[in-house]
Amino acid sequence: METLQYTIRKLIYSIPLLFGVTLIAFTLMVYFGPDLTDSILGKNPTAEQIADVRSELGYDAPFFVRYFMFLKEVVTFDFGSSMSSGEDVRSILARTVPVSFAVALPAFILSNLLGVGLALLAAYHRGGFWDKFVMVFAVVGMSVSYLMIVIAFQIIFSTSYGLNWFPVQGWIDPPPDYPDATFFEIAYYYWYNYWLYVTVPTLASIFVALGYNTRFFRAVIVEELNRDYVRTARAYGIGNGTIMLKHVLKNALIPIATRIIISLPFVIIAGNLLLEKFFGIPGVGLVTYDAITNGDLPVVKAVVTSTAILYVFALILTDIAYKVIDPRITYSK
Amino acid sequence: MSSDTPLLKVENLSVEFRTENGVVKAVDDVSFEVNEGEPVGIVGESGSGKSVTALTLLQLVPNPPGRVTGGRILLDGVDILSKSQSQMRNIRGNLASMIFQEPMTALNPVFTIANQMVEVIRVHQKVSKREALQIAIRMLDTVNIPTPEKCVKQYPHELSGGMRQRVMIAMALSCNPKLLIADEPTTALDVTVQAQVLKEIHQQQSERNMGMILITHDLGVVAETCKRVIVMYKGKIVEEAETEQLFRNPRHPYTQKLLSSVLSMRD
Amino acid sequence: MDADTTDQSSGTSAGQSLWSKSARKFRRDRFGLASLAIVGLYAVVALGVWLGLWGQGWSTLGEESFAGVSGEHWFGTNLNGQDIFQRAIAGTKTAFEVGLLVAVVSTLIGGFLGAIAGFYSGTWIDEVIMWLYGCIDAIPFYLFVAAIAFALEGFPYAMHVAMITTFWSSTCRIVRGEVIKIRSLEYIQAAHAIGVKPMTIILRHVSPNTFHILLVQGTIAFVGAIKSEVILTFLGLGVKEGVSWGRMLTESTQDVLRGHFGNFLAASIFLFILVIAFNMFADALQDATDPKKISS
């Protein structure tokens, strides 16, 4: 019951945030955005035509009217159609979001799992060799540019200068049409191609993210290790392994899980622009990138607003999850 | 174990700490004994080395900054300082138990009392989870916790400070240790609760005939519960005497100062 | 037992002792000193380029494209025959330009707003500032930059503005947290009670204790800025004229497919060493100035 009240309070609190976000998005993209009159009219428009189009696009309307028009689009989630392909923005999103998700998911899971594992290893041996080793590795990971890694991995894995195991770019093509292909054969086809195209991007993502994750996780764990209850556990004969994996981990998971949850919306919908552009993966990122460079406004609007809204909800979710996981907070206030 | 051999014999113990400002001698050539069933108080201000001494008895001094540089500790015939960390696990909570100052933070906030007590019990005794739970409940009852079956299922933050400390006492006693080490057990509690918890400790100690080391800066606490008092100052023992004797006839100037501050408050 | 308000905030008038303790601690950290030296080296290089001392020949077109490593061209040449090493050197200046501008401005703004938010925490001022950075955090970074690039079309510092508007929020959050903690300390309440003006309190008492945060956040922002520049340039949203490591890496994506690694190696090495040195410097700085780790 109390959680429900808390949730409602948080939702209400998020309304100004949503307004703020949409306002900023609107101001930047629409108000200051490109003047679309030319692209619609083409060559040599008459003054009358210009005036018509402008009023149709609402350019003459005052700021807040235009803002409300934008809000209407947001609420109904109808941003119109892409200007380059004419495809309805919603169907574009429906098509590309799953792809981005499929690409981002393995990296997300692995980099967090490995991050926690490495952090535990480092914290357990803090001050010692493994700690330093892991931390150096983490700093290196943090310091390489994403672009560097992507290029390097491409060279190593995908070109003839390296291993040439993986394709340079691309994504799963629809399977060739064998009429008697069994379900398993098709499934295997997808599975095989999925890993064929996803591996190199995933490796690149993990390499970069791991450094940041490990450092943060280790800091959290080490801070827990300095707490009194660890001293108590040791004073009663509990072994170091159990202390790490039972006592410390559960406490450390609270801030760790929070961070993971906060990063989730960007995994789900944003789609890594750089990754997709580079590896030619037809996800949200690539579509957005093309939209940005082509000035394809409806697409950009859709992506920015949906990500922002998702983020706000993710924040609420985090707060609630936080309350549920940590019994102290649930009961004390 | 004859009553001639002391339960705990500390000989020339020295512990150093490496700090940014150089090496600090936290414990400097300290020697004392505790007999079976005897409650002994260690008194001193902060920085006197009393807590470090206690921690050393169970090899709980964190090793990077701290280091034992000399001495011997014999606990029930066991040479403590020669034991490795993993060998110490059998001794901690079993042969000797320690209670700490801050009950709020001493217990793990995300596990129930039951979980934590059962864990400790099963480390030292070969019992099933259910049996361990029964032992835990019985222990909670012994320390006069009103509804032990209910308390056991709760989380530490749901209990009051006094109750938490009782839980700690119950945990400490759950494996029948011969020595109880209590480091400022009542300092962090409300004044009204302090007397009760202190009485509880005193009662348990005499009923179970445990040796006890009670560390405090408060001479009043010592007067009620301890048979003998050791006074420490800057890592050294400056005076040691039977409680009554100490209060009536303090010899060392530092002890005299301590006493005079207590007495002036009583006025 | 002394009131433990002495922990870090007795720093103010005893502020000198906090600083000298930090300095001493930092001096003992060999990695910190080494990384500072490396950063300093880069700074000198950048300064030299700016002053016209070296790295001026980065745009001279040459005849030999993709020349290999030689005595004349330490990293060879690129597609247009331009000397890669010169370009890398010149890129240092760009990197520092971007880095310094973004780091300084975003940290100052973040610190200022954070201090105000923390000081007036609980009032509408605080709510507004928190709302503001909540909104900005919600928009994905690259999209935000793209949107700003659109809005500020043609403005050469569009990228810098975009970075500043996103980077200030983390500094703001941290400073706000610190200020809230400091505000509840007794001696600040005492000053307030006596009637010292809020501005004076902020400047004289609160700021010295948050300065170390600004320093650390500034270094983090610097690193973030250089790394972001690389990716933004690749996406076409960054540096458009002149040369930067981002441009070099972008060019190298084509070169590499044909087996020419000069651009890639030069830009990567220059970038990587600066970033890792800065990161280590930031770590050392954090260790040295963290009041919790300095014995008082």
pLDDT band at B1 (very low <50, low <70, confident <90, very high): very low
Cβ of residue B257 closer than 8 Å to a chain A Cβ: no
Integer Cα distance of B151 and B159 in angstroms: 8
Which chain C residues contact residue B48 at CB under 8 A? none
**Segment B213-239, tens digit of pLDDT:** 999 888 888 888 889 999 998 889 988
Is the per-residue pLDDT at C258 higher than 90?
no
Output the CA–CA distances (angstroms, integers) from residue A45 to A42, A185, A297, C19, C286, in the order listed: 7, 56, 22, 68, 61
Does A293 sit within 8 Å of C256, measured CB to CB?
no
Q: Which of A163-167, A211-215, B172-176 has the lowest mean pLDDT?
A: A163-167
Chain C residues lying within 8 Å of B46, measured CB to CB: 1
ipTM for the whole complex: 0.88
The verdict on a CB contact (< 8 Å) between A312 and C142 is: no
Strand partners, B8: B34, B75
For residue A247, pLDDT beyond 70: yes
Query: Cβ separation of C135 and A142 shorter than 8 Å?
Result: no
Are B32 and B240 in contact, with CB atoms under 8 Å apart? yes
For residue C231, the model assigns a pLDDT of: 85
Does C48 score more than 80 pLDDT?
A: yes
pLDDT band at A31 (very low <50, low <70, confident <90, very high): low
Q: What is the pLDDT of residues A66-80, one digit of tens each?
A: 777 777 777 777 777
- Residue B171 in contact with partner chain A when CB distance is under 8 A: yes
CA-nearest of A270, A271, A292 to C238 is: A292
Distance from CA of C3 to the nearest CA of B (A): 14
Of A232, A237, A250, the CB nearest to B100: A232
- Least trusted range by pLDDT, from A20-24, A201-205, B102-106, C268-272: A20-24
Q: Is B267 part of the contact surface with chain C (CB cutoff 8 Å)?
A: no
Helix (H, G, I), strand (E, B) or coil at B37: coil
Domains in chain B, CATH or no CATH each:
8-105+179-266 (3.40.50.300)
Q: Which two tokens mark B80? A: 């403590």
Residue C103 tokens read as 């780091």
Q: Which residue has the tokens 């928190």?
A: C130
Give the alpha-carbon dihedral of C147, A149, A207, A280, to 10 degrees. Answer: 60
Considering only CB atoms, A33 lies closest to which of C150, C256, C275, namely C150
pLDDT value of residue C8: 40
Contact B106 A229 (CB under 8 A): yes
Angstrom CA distances, B114 to A56, B101, B152, B201, stand at 70, 21, 5, 21
Taking contacts as CB-CB distances below 8 angstroms, the residues of chain C near A146 are 227, 230-231
**Chain B contact present for A239, CB below 8 A:** yes
pLDDT of residue C14: 45
* Number of other CB atoms surrounding residue A102 within 10 Å: 16
Higher pLDDT among residues A138 and C20, named by residue: A138
What's the pLDDT at B97?
93
Q: How many CA within 13 A on the CB side of residue A261?
A: 18
Residue C15 pLDDT more than 50? no
- For the segment A201-224, the average pLDDT, to the nearest whole number, is 90
Q: Predicted confidence band at C175 (pLDDT cuts at 50, 70, 90)?
A: confident
* Cβ contact A227–B105 (<8 Å): yes
Bridge pairing between strands B39-43 and B236-242: unpaired
- C5 has a pLDDT exceeding 70: no
CB contact under 8 Å between A161 and C235, yes or no, is: no
Residue A94: the pLDDT is 83
pLDDT, tens digit, 9 for 90 and up, residues B63-105: 888 888 989 999 988 898 898 888 899 899 889 999 998 888 8
Higher-confidence position of A35 and A169: A169
Residue C270, pLDDT > 80, answer yes
Rounded Cα distance between B213 and A321, Å, is: 44
Q: Any CB–CB contact under 8 A between B60 and chain A? A: yes
Q: Which helix (H) or strand (E) holds A15?
A: helix A2-26
| pLDDT(C295) > 60 | no
In C246-288, DSSP assigns E strands to none
Q: Mean pLDDT of all residues in chain C?
A: 79
**Chain B residues close to A238, C-beta within 8 Å:** 89, 119-120, 123
C292 touches chain B (CB under 8 A): no
In this prediction, residue C10 has a pLDDT band, given cuts at 50, 70 and 90, of: very low
Our CA-based measurement puts residue B37 at a distance from the nearest CA of chain C, in whole angstroms, of: 33
Taking residue B134's Cβ as centre, other Cβ atoms within 10 Å add up to 14
Q: How far apart are the first and last CA of chain B?
A: 46
Which residue matches tokens 């690389």?
C230
pLDDT tops 90 at residue C60: no
Tell me which of A297-301, A320-324, B138-142, B256-260 is least confident: A320-324
- pLDDT (average), residues C218-224: 91
Chain C residues in contact with B19 (beta carbon < 8 A)? 295
**Is residue A43 very low, low, confident or very high in pLDDT (cuts 50, 70, 90)?**
low
Would an 8 Å CB–CB cutoff place C25 in contact with chain B? Answer: yes
Round the average pLDDT of chain A to a whole number and report it.
79
- Count other C-beta atoms under 10 Å from residue B41's C-beta: 26
Report the DSSP beta bridge partners of residue B232. Answer: B237
Under 8 Å between Cβ of C296 and C7: yes
Q: What whole-number distance in Å separates Cα of residue B142 and Cα of residue B140?
A: 5
Q: Which residue in C has a C-alpha nearest to residue B22's C-alpha?
A: C295
A245: contact with B, CB 8 A cutoff: no
Taking an 8 Å cut-off on Cβ atoms, the answer to whether A304 and C140 are in contact is: yes
Is the CB of B19 inside 8 Å of chain C's CB atoms? yes
Dump pLDDT digits (tens) for C122-170: 788 888 888 888 888 877 787 777 777 767 766 778 888 888 988 998 8
Domains assigned to chain A: 90-325 (1.10.3720.10)
Chain A, nearest residue to B108 by Cα: A229
Q: How confident is the model at residue B267 (pLDDT cuts 50, 70, 90)?
A: very low
For the cut 90, the answer to whether the pLDDT of residue B167 exceeds it is yes
CB contact under 8 A, C150 and A154: no
> Does A328 or C151 have the greater pLDDT score?
C151
Min Cα separation A285/chain C (Å): 10
C-beta separation of A70 from A162 below 8 A:
no
Interface contact flag, B21 C295, Cβ < 8 Å: yes
Pairing of strands B66-75, B78-79: antiparallel
Residue C23 pLDDT class (50, 70, 90 cuts): confident
Q: How confident is the model at residue C18 (pLDDT cuts 50, 70, 90)?
A: low
Inter-chain contacts counted by CB atoms under 8 A, chains B and C:
6
Q: Is C78 helix (H, G, I), strand (E, B) or coil?
A: coil
Residue B217 gets which letter from DSSP?
A: S
Q: What is the average per-residue pLDDT within C262-277?
A: 89
* Percent of chain B whose predicted confidence (pLDDT) is above 90: 41
Instruction: Give the pair of three-digit tokens for residue B258.
Output: 């301590």
Q: Which of these ranges, A320-329, C22-31, C59-68, C205-214, has the smallest mean pLDDT?
A: A320-329
> Cβ–Cβ of C231/A147 closer than 8 Å?
yes
Higher local confidence (pLDDT), A180 or C51: C51
pLDDT of residue B128: 92
Neighbours of chain B (3+ CB pairs under 8 A): A, C
CA distance A11 to A15: 7
C138 CA to chain A: closest CA distance, Å? 5
**Confidence check: pLDDT of C182 > 50:** yes
pLDDT at C12 over 50: no
- Check B20 against C1: CB less than 8 A apart: no
Tell me what pLDDT residue B257 has: 82
Look at residue A312 in the predicted model and tell me its pLDDT: 78
Q: How far apart are CA C146 and CA A295, in angstroms?
A: 10
**Has residue A36 got a pLDDT over 70?**
no
Q: State the nearest Cα–Cα gap between A239 and chain B, in angstroms.
A: 7
Residue of A nearest to B63 (CA): A127
User: What is the pLDDT, as a whole number, of residue A23?
Assistant: 80
Please check whether residue C212 touches B, CB under 8 A. no
Is the CB of residue B249 less than 8 Å away from at least one CB of chain A?
no
Selecting from C131, C139, C272 the residue whose C-beta is nearest the C-beta of A16 gives C131
- Which residues are within 8 A (CB) of B194 and not within 5 positions of it... i.e. 6 or more apart? B186
Say if residue A229's pLDDT is above 50.
yes
Within 8 A of A295 by CB-CB distance, chain C residues are 150
- At B118-157, the pLDDT tens digits run 999 999 999 999 999 999 999 999 898 989 999 999 999 8
Structure tokens belonging to residue C81: 């025959």
Maximum alpha-carbon separation in chain C: 78
